[in-house]
Amino acid sequence: MPEFTQDYFTPRIPDWTRLLIDQRGWDPDQKHVVVEIGAFEGRSSVWMHETLLRHPESRLYCIDSWRQRDGRAFELFQANIAELDGNDRITVMRMASHAALHNLRSQRVMADLVYVDGSHFGCDVLSDLVQSFFITRTGGVMICDDYLWRGRKERPRALVDTPKPAIDAFTTCYARKLRIIEDVPLYQLAFEKLAD
Ligand SMILES: C[S@@+](CC[C@H](N)C(=O)[O-])C[C@H]1O[C@@H](n2cnc3c(N)ncnc32)[C@H](O)[C@@H]1O
């Protein structure tokens, strides 16, 4: 059984299922590419692999810096991924997201879905969004976690150190190239890429 010390993802599953599978007709038996920025212990990775990526040529790229000082997260991620059938379809990229996204662009990887859940500092989120847009195919979806997150309750962050201003800036500047998907609860923000 997969082991997690924290589960950020399970509460998102009903909305993801509705958005991707019920509304957009995502067929897990068709070939797809998913890029995940911020894999942590693999909770969202396991769900995406098992639920969205059953085709033998599908691929999941899991990006995370997994710094040593963050504890056992990488160890748990590896153990959780090791249990999955077809885990050779998962590419683990242990590096900062800007470097990983640059690599993927150089390899001409194009994703059907990018999950942006790495650093939550506005400047990093903005850079993740701009870089991810290049590697998202037209018609693909980007989902940003924690759009409304303001930091830990006991230590709220300055707004500029949270995802929201970055996501707002990005979606404003790219307004002609994307469509915000509005019928999901607003805690996360999802949009479809309409044009390069
Ligand atoms: C909230 S956790 C991801 C949770 C995961 N998506 C889930 O639902 O289970 C955020 C992760 O982003 C990683 N991270 C933070 N800044 C990063 C950066 N600049 N590049 C790559 N990963 C980063 C952290 O190491 C952490 O594991």
Token pair listed for 187: 């805690």
**For ligand 1, what atom is nearest to the CA of residue 124?**
19
Give dist(CA 154, CA 157) in Å, integer.
10
Ligand 1 centroid to Cα of residue 180, in Å, is 23
* Protein residue with its CA nearest to atom 25 in ligand 1: 66
Domain 15-193 has CATH 3.40.50.150: yes
Report the residue among 45, 62, 72, 97 best suited for mutation to probe ligand 1: largest number of ligand atoms under 8 A from its CB: 97
Phi-psi region of 25 (alpha: psi -120 to 50; beta: other; left: phi over 0): left
Report pLDDT for 2: 84
Q: What share of the chain is helix, strand, coil (3-state, %, to 5)?
A: 40, 20, 35
Checking if the pLDDT of 17 tops 90, the result is yes
Is residue 112 lining ligand 1, measured as CB closer than 6 Å? no
**Which three-class secondary structure string do you get for 120-167?**
CCHHHHHHHHHHHHHCEEEEEEEEECCCCCCEECCEECCHHHCHHHHH
Does an H or E element contain 50, and which? helix 43-52
Question: What is the Å distance from ligand 1's center to 101 Cα?
Answer: 14
The CA 32 to ligand 1 mean position distance, Å, reads 22
pLDDT, tens digit (0-9, with 9 covering 90-100), for 125-141 = 999 999 999 999 999 99
pLDDT for position 158? 97
Domain boundaries, the chain: 15-193
Alpha-carbon gap, residue 35 to 109, rounded angstroms: 9
DSSP-assigned letters across all residues of 160-177 = GGSHHHHHHHHHHHTGGG
Query: What is the whole-number distance in angstroms between the Cα of residue 97 and the centre of ligand 1?
Result: 9
Q: Which amino acid residue places its CA nearest to atom 11 of ligand 1? A: 38
Ligand 1 site, residue 133, Cβ cutoff 6 A: no
Centroid of ligand 1 to alpha carbon of 178 (angstroms):
25
Which of left, alpha, beta for 139 (phi over 0: left; psi -120 to 50: alpha)? left
Q: Answer yes or no: is pLDDT of 69 > 80.
A: no
Does this model's pTM top 0.95? My answer is yes
CA 78 to chain centre: 18
pLDDT value, residue 23: 95
Give 102-112 pLDDT, tens digit per residue: 999 999 999 99
Distance CA 66, CA 94 (A): 7
What's the token pair of residue 54? Answer: 């059953």
Ligand 1 within 6 A of CB of 96:
yes
